[in-house]
């Protein structure tokens, strides 16, 4: 199999939403009038973001999911993606499953793969995603206002808990692992939520490095502080069973790979947010509020503020 056979066989699908897709020197894309282009890149490196023997179907899903999550956090409608991939060898069985996982999710969100690059090397997967949104409608990190409510989607901590088990920092039963592993291996990007929050949320971010770290980015960009109640943080039954341990709290507050949205919106929008959650059948939980000042104060059930250390995952710390 040559490089071009590989691209044709595994990464070339119809792209009716592009002027020119895979196969030329560049893709040509036509933007809808009045729209802004949202562009984001996320790279997954073997040994850093996933285990070398990760299930290729789930890896294909996750490679795109983490990028869709960035579109969600901007309130953008995902449209196109490119995929740059370094492979130690051209295993047909691996490529078959990886591309199936990638395209299953791409199809679900109407994303077209319009190009990429393919080389030999240590396993490395890099997607650039492009989406559209009406001019000025982007959900920025910098828009939080004092008095805003702080919300998160879904539940927090499951992915980090599954990872802690795989890294032997904690021991989960088989049933517990089965319940929280999908959050780690097949995160569901909250694209519909991001779209629904346009014109309602003042700020948004997706939780890739942990709630405290990512909410911290909103606070820094918005020159504001936040108060969060730990008892309000939405967690799964498995996560709740481990919350008394220090590691459990860390998974919820600082665990990466959640790919839920954290957003802020005016208190008068409270009912609108609950309606969006009901319509999308996605739990949306108010976890605290934006206050004047800086940094995030986390309070326990008795109102005592916790020492939360220094936040989330940082590749270079
Ligand atoms: P060039 O040599 O001009 O950079 P390439 O040989 O790298 O072109 O790629 C040929 C075509 O295949 C291009 O359209 C490129 O975007 C596309 N392509 C390469 N690798 C991938 C991939 N992994 N997924 C999707 N498209 C790809
Ligand atoms: Mg190239």
Q: What is the pLDDT of residues 13-23, one digit of tens each?
A: 999 999 999 99
> Residue 212's pLDDT is what?
96
- Mean of pLDDT over the chain: 95
Q: What is the pLDDT of residues 274-311, one digit of tens each?
A: 999 999 999 999 999 999 999 999 998 888 888 776 55
User: What is the C-alpha to C-alpha distance for residues 293 and 305, in angstroms, rounded to an integer?
Assistant: 16
Segment 99-112 mean pLDDT: 98
Ligand nearest to the CA of 25: 1
Ligand nearest to the CA of 80: 1
Instruction: Please work out whether the CB of residue 20 comes within 6 Å of at least one atom of ligand 1.
Output: no
Confidence check: pLDDT of 158 > 90: yes
Q: What is the pLDDT of residues 49-91, one digit of tens each?
A: 999 899 999 999 999 999 999 999 999 999 999 999 999 999 9
Q: Which atom of ligand 1 is nearest to the CA of 22?
A: 14
User: Which of 22, 106, 112 best tests ligand 1's pocket when mutated (most atoms within 8 Å of CB)?
Assistant: 22
For 246, residues 6+ apart whose C-beta sits below 8 A from its C-beta are none
Share of the chain above pLDDT 70, in %: 97
Instruction: Please work out whether the CB of residue 115 comes within 6 Å of at least one atom of ligand 1.
Output: yes
User: What is the C-alpha to C-alpha distance for residues 196 and 271, in angstroms, rounded to an integer?
Assistant: 13
Instruction: Please work out whether the CB of residue 29 comes within 6 Å of at least one atom of ligand 1.
Output: no
In terms of Cβ atoms closer than 10 Å to its own Cβ (0-12, 13-18, 19+), residue 190 is: buried
User: What is the C-alpha to C-alpha distance for residues 206 and 209, in angstroms, rounded to an integer?
Assistant: 9
This prediction has a pTM of: 0.95
Calculate how far, in angstroms, residue 248's C-alpha sits from the geometric centre of ligand 1: 43
Q: Whose CA is nearest to atom 10 of ligand 1?
A: 23
Confidence check: pLDDT of 191 > 60: yes
Ligand nearest to the CA of 9: 1
Structure tokens at 61: 């899903």
User: If we measure between CA atoms, which residue out of 9, 12, 38, 33 comes closest to residue 23?
Assistant: 12
User: If we measure between CA atoms, which residue out of 211, 221, 200 comes closest to residue 142?
Assistant: 221
């Amino acid at each position: 199999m040559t490089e071009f056979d590989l691209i044709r066989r595994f990464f070339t699908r119809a792209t009716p939403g592009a002027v020119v897709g895979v196969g030329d020197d560049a893709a040509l894309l036509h933007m809808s009038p009045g729209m802004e282009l949202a562009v984001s890149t996320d790279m997954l490196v073997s040994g850093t973001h996933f285990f070398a023997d990760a299930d290729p179907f789930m890896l294909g899903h996750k490679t795109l999911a983490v990028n869709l999550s960035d579109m969600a956090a901007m309130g953008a409608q995902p449209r196109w993606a490119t995929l740059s991939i370094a492979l130690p060898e051209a295993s047909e069985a691996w490529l078959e499953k990886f591309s199936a996982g990638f395209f299953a999710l791409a199809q679900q969100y109407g994303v077209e793969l319009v190009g990429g690059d393919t080389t030999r090397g240590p396993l490395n997967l890099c997607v650039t995603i492009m989406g559209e949104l009406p001019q000025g409608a982007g959900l920025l990190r910098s828009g939080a206002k004092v008095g805003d409510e702080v919300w998160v989607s879904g539940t927090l901590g499951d992915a980090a808990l599954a990872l802690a088990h795989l890294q032997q920092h904690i021991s989960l039963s088989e049933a517990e692992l089965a319940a929280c592993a999908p959050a780690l291996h097949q995160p569901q990007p909250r694209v519909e939520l991001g779209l629904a929050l346009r014109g309602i949320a003042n700020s948004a971010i997706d939780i890739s490095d942990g709630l405290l770290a990512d909410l911290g980015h909103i606070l820094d960009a918005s020159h504001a502080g936040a108060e969060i109640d730990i008892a309000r943080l939405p967690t799964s039954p498995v996560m709740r069973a481990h919350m008394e341990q220090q590691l459990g709290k860390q998974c919820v507050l600082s665990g990466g790979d959640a790919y839920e949205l954290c957003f802020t919106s005016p208190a008068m929008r409270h009912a609108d947010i609950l309606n969006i959650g009901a319509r999308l059948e996605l739990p949306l939980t108010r976890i605290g509020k934006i206050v004047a000042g800086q940094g995030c104060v986390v309070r326990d059930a008795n109102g005592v503020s916790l020492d939360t250390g220094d936040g989330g995952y940082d590749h270079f710390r």
